[in-house]
């Protein structure tokens, strides 16, 4: 066969076109998939943060109703003594439904180590799924003020991806 012969060149051209446009379509679909995945991931993150945020609010309010929460020596807010065979007990859980997906957030707490303080200083930490903290808040209950104590928020930290924010 002569190298100048045109036989079969259309096939090569067609294959070239198919390859080129296949790559173009593949790239477009990859972009589209990345967009969909990022939106879904952001939605999940948002749901987790709002669930964790709400769980902390719930814990604070439960602590106003139950003045034993976070009081000195409260076993609900105390890690097990060493050697610890289990994690710090869960104080409470909340559920929230976002776009049909139910998220369960758990809250653990730690009481102030100072028994002489008349007011409770309690740190609440919430998480979703794993034990990785999402939100941490430290509050003071002014128990001496009345039957339903006022609350001051000392700190409210979104742990995010910075593990150092909630050691």
Partner 1 sequence: MRRNDIDSNDGFSLVEILITVAIVGITFTAILGGLITTITASAYQRKAATADAIVRSAAELVKDSVRNPYANCAGSGAYSLAGLSVPAGFSVTIQGVKYWDGQPVPPGDMVKFTSNCDHGMQQISIQATSSDGQATETLQVIKRSVP
- Sorted by sequence, the CB contacts under 8 Å of residue 46 that are 6+ apart come out as 98
CB of 39 to partner 1, least distance (A): 5
Question: Residue 24 interacts with partner 1 (CB under 8 A)?
Answer: yes
Question: Residue 147 interacts with partner 1 (CB under 8 A)?
Answer: no
Question: Residue 39 interacts with partner 1 (CB under 8 A)?
Answer: yes
**Residue selected from 23, 41, 87, 90 as contacting partner 1 according to rule CB under 8 A:** 90
Q: How far apart are CA 45 and CA 132, in angstroms?
A: 13
C-beta of 28 vs 163, nearer to partner 1: 28
Q: How far apart are CA 100 and CA 115, in angstroms?
A: 45
- Sorted by sequence, the CB contacts under 8 Å of residue 106 that are 6+ apart come out as 55, 90, 92, 93, 126, 127, 128
C-beta of 153 vs 163, nearer to partner 1: 153
CB atoms within 10 A of CB 160: 13
Q: Interacting stretch for partner 1, rule CB under 8 A, among 46-54, 112-120, 128-136, 159-167?
A: 46-54
**Residue selected from 61, 117, 132, 163 as contacting partner 1 according to rule CB under 8 A:** 61
Question: Residue 41 interacts with partner 1 (CB under 8 A)?
Answer: no
Question: Residue 1 interacts with partner 1 (CB under 8 A)?
Answer: yes
Which residues lie near partner 1 (CB under 8 A)? 1-2, 5-7, 10-11, 13-14, 17-18, 21, 24-25, 28-29, 31-32, 35-36, 39, 42-43, 46-47, 50, 53-55, 57-58, 60-62, 64-66, 76, 89-100, 106, 148, 150-152
């Amino acid at each position: 066969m002569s190298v100048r012969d045109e036989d079969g060149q259309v096939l090569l051209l067609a294959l070239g076109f198919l390859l080129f446009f296949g790559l173009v379509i593949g790239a477009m679909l990859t972009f589209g998939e990345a967009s969909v995945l990022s939106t879904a991931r952001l939605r999940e993150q948002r749901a987790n943060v709002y669930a964790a945020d709400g769980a902390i609010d719930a814990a604070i309010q439960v602590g106003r109703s139950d003045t034993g929460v976070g009081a000195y020596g409260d076993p609900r807010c105390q890690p097990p003594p060493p050697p610890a065979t289990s994690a710090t007990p869960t104080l409470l859980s909340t559920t929230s439904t976002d776009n049909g997906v139910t998220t369960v957030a758990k809250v653990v707490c730690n009481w102030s180590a100072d028994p002489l303080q008349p007011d409770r200083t309690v740190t609440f930490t919430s998480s979703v799924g794993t034990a990785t903290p999402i939100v941490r808040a430290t509050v003071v209950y002014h128990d001496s003020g009345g039957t339903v104590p006022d609350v001051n928020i000392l700190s409210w930290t979104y742990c995010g991806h910075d593990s150092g924010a909630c050691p």
